[in-house]
Structure 1
């Protein structure tokens, strides 16, 4: 028996049992899906961060709020999350200010509620599929370990039919079982790293959005005096 050939990765995968092959296939599929969402989510968060910075620059440059509203209304999809929060708050402010009999506090609270609702939608969009990455990071090692345990059990069952066991008999079965654990870690580690990074970035954006809502509410309140 050629031990080197038997212990090559492709050979180990090809000669693994049906259960171990199913575990490896599932882990590889999950890994591909997690990488897809890692790239998609990374692009989305980077885009949101860039457009937020652009809108903050335009807002704090001292331009007219009505002109800024028209600019963001032209293409809401491309405006960015912070621009959409501003759009919702200023539209509600303008609508309520035109209604007679409303207190200033009612107008500001209505504007804040509109911004808060849009804020929650934007954060929900940014956090979409993060739970999938968290699940991949937490579950994949255990799925790989299941494949490893099953493969080792098969290897020892095969040894029970032999009068004497040598390294050439034991090594391939144990090695093919350990490949499942390696694939599980390969799927889990990038997912965990990406999840932690994305969660941190979204928290930072959330803080910027909330700070803007408070500062913008103060600006609107001054306009009512």
Structure 2
């Protein structure tokens, strides 16, 4: 008798697969899984695009800093800026404002240039920050959406037991397994989004600090 039970359990386990559970899941659970898959795809799209943008920004800072450190006057730097970039825009906005009124108060010109450079830098930081809030939303909401699918699936499984005369683990297991897959989908979407959000926010903060340091340096140069 025990041998028959073991064989039957083994055959049930062999017949269960993740793909089969997804296909045979309740419509609501399938809908939850589809939503989570779409959220995961969108989050990875944002992650990869932001990573490329931040790499370009860091490369721009490195290249412009190397160019700026050469022994050239501000006039030469302005006339020979190698390419249009954020750092070049920050420098040009400050330099043009500082030299706008050559006979004016140099201190007042320097302060206006300082504010304008900060405005240019803040606009770039806002651009880098765009869509990060979506990553935060996906990171925080995905587990709850997956949990909703799990609760719904388990509830559906127990409702189905009402029509079964003799309940066994072989009857309950598939329904609970397909319900738990929804939670796995939620974690699959949330974990990368959480890690990426924290990592990208840290990199944007580093870029912001470098912009601020350059602006402060330019302000000191203008005040001389």
> TM-score under structure 1 normalisation?
0.91
Q: Describe the SS at the equivalent of 1:187.
A: helix
Q: Which runs of 5+ in 1 are unaligned?
A: none
Partners of 2:139 and 2:189 within 8 A in 1: yes
Equivalences for 1:51-70 in 2 at 5 Å?
51-70=60-79
Give the length in aligned residue pairs: 215
Instruction: Please give the alpha-carbon distance, in whole angstroms, between the structure 2 residues aligned to 1:18 and 1:7.
Output: 19
Partners of 2:68 and 2:77 within 8 A in 1: yes
Deviations 1:50-101 (A, max 9, x none): 11011111112222322322344x742xx2x222211211111121x33x4x
Equivalences for 1:119-158 in 2 at 5 Å?
119-158=121-160
Q: 2:112 aligns with which of 105, 110, 113?
A: 110
Q: Give the structure 2 partner of residue 90 of structure 1.
A: 95
Q: Give the structure 2 partner of residue 215 of structure 1.
A: 217
Q: Describe the SS at the equivalent of 1:191.
A: helix
Q: Give the structure 2 partner of residue 171 of structure 1.
A: 173
Instruction: Please give the alpha-carbon distance, in whole angstroms, between the structure 2 residues aligned to 1:56 and 1:134.
Output: 32
Q: Which runs of 5+ in 2 are unaligned?
A: 1-7
Q: Which runs of 4+ in 1 moved over 3 A?
A: none
Q: Describe the SS at the equivalent of 1:32.
A: helix
Instruction: Please give the alpha-carbon distance, in whole angstroms, between the structure 2 residues aligned to 1:110 and 1:172.
Output: 69
Partners of 1:136 and 1:191 within 8 A in 2: yes
Instruction: Please give the alpha-carbon distance, in whole angstroms, between the structure 2 residues aligned to 1:154 and 1:30.
Output: 25
Q: Say if 1:39 and 1:161 are closer, same or farther in 2 by CA, change over 3 A.
A: same
Deviations 1:110-136 (A, max 9, x none): 101110110110100111111111111
Q: Which has the larger radius of gyration?
A: 2
Equivalences for 1:197-212 in 2 at 5 Å?
197-212=199-214
> TM-score under structure 2 normalisation?
0.91
Instruction: Please give the alpha-carbon distance, in whole angstroms, between the structure 1 residues aligned to 2:71 and 2:128.
Output: 29
Structure 1 window deviating more from structure 2 (185-194 vs 103-112): it is: 103-112
Q: Give the structure 1 partner of residue 3 of structure 2.
A: none
